[in-house]
Amino acid sequence: MSLDLATCSDSELAALTLGGRQNAFAEIMARHEAPLFRLIRGHVGDADTALDLTQDSFIAAYRALAQYDQARPLRSWLVRIAINKCRDRARRRAVRGLLSFARPLDAAINETVADSAPNAEQQLGDARELDRLWAAIATLPGNLKEPLLLRTVEELSQRETAQVLAISEKAVETRVHRARKQLEKIMHAG
């Protein structure tokens, strides 16, 4: 008799994976890949980078699965890993940005810098407007971006968001409100 993995809970799938059933982790990925990708894309603003970080998040989750507390929701644990991957990427980029100033001036002058500002043509259409929104979300500071993404994109409750971010529920409410205000300013300014 074969076990139908689609009917298993996340905790059961984690236990099966730890027991050596690789297809159980494939089911975990199938369940959580789209929400994690949306969360990460909102964090970084770029679909290709988000895809890479989503894969990195699942690799990290697989490697750390033995540390997962099966009494807690797997989704929250995966979200935490994804947010940490986004933060790690941001730190690496900040360090690279600082180190780029140490390059010789003549090398920097000869380099072409791409203009990332959207032109009028790119702003037409729903898909382009959505890309613009994702980019605006990516510019928010992490303490505002993360609660906004978890509450609005991932539809976690205020309590779940507070648990994932290790902050109070009131702080979640305040940060989401501030994030929406900043997004409104960014979108109107663009």
Query: Has residue 123 got a pLDDT over 50?
Result: no
SS3 annotation, the chain: CCCCHHHCCHHHHHHHHHCCCHHHHHHHHHHHHHHHHHHHHHHHCCHHHHHHHHHHHHHHHHHCHHHCCCCCCHHHHHHHHHHHHHHHHHHHHHHHHHHHCCCCHHHHHCCCCCCCCCCCCCCCCHHHHHHHHHHHHHHCCHHHHHHHHHHHHCCCCHHHHHHHHCCCHHHHHHHHHHHHHHHHHHHHHC
Instruction: For the chain, give the percent of residues with pLDDT over 90.
Output: 55
Number of domains in the chain: 2
pTM for the full predicted model: 0.65
Confidence at 121, pLDDT banded by 50, 70, 90: low
Instruction: For the chain, give the percent of residues with pLDDT over 70.
Output: 82
CATH number of the structural domain spanning residue 135: 1.10.10.10
**Which residues span the domain enclosing 154?**
122-190
The total number of residues shown for the chain amounts to: 190
Residue 81 lies in a domain: yes
Residue 33 lies in a domain: yes
Residue 75 lies in a domain: yes
pLDDT at 134: 84
Q: Are residues 88 and 159 in the same domain?
A: no
Query: Has residue 80 got a pLDDT over 90?
Result: yes
What does the pLDDT look like over 124-165, one tens digit per residue? 566 777 778 888 888 999 899 999 988 888 888 999 999 989
- What gap in Å lies between CA 24 and CA 18, rounded to an integer? 9
What does the pLDDT look like over 4-14, one tens digit per residue? 899 999 999 99
Residue 2 lies in a domain: no
Q: Are residues 89 and 135 in the same domain?
A: no
Q: Are residues 77 and 134 in the same domain?
A: no
Residue 109 lies in a domain: no
Confidence at 94, pLDDT banded by 50, 70, 90: confident
Q: Are residues 24 and 98 in the same domain?
A: yes
Q: Are residues 56 and 134 in the same domain?
A: no
- Given 45, 74, 103, which residue is the final one in a domain? 103
Tokens standing for 130?
């959505």
Residue 114 lies in a domain: no
Q: Are residues 27 and 97 in the same domain?
A: yes
Q: What is the mean pLDDT of the chain?
A: 84
Query: Has residue 190 got a pLDDT over 80?
Result: no
Query: Has residue 183 got a pLDDT over 60?
Result: yes
Query: Has residue 88 got a pLDDT over 50?
Result: yes
pLDDT at 105: 47
Q: Are residues 28 and 97 in the same domain?
A: yes
Q: Are residues 145 and 173 in the same domain?
A: yes
Q: Are residues 69 and 152 in the same domain?
A: no
Residue 32 lies in a domain: yes
CATH number of the structural domain spanning residue 76: 1.10.1740.10
Query: Has residue 33 got a pLDDT over 60?
Result: yes
Query: Has residue 118 got a pLDDT over 70?
Result: no
Q: Are residues 21 and 93 in the same domain?
A: yes
Which whole number is the average pLDDT over 162-180? 93
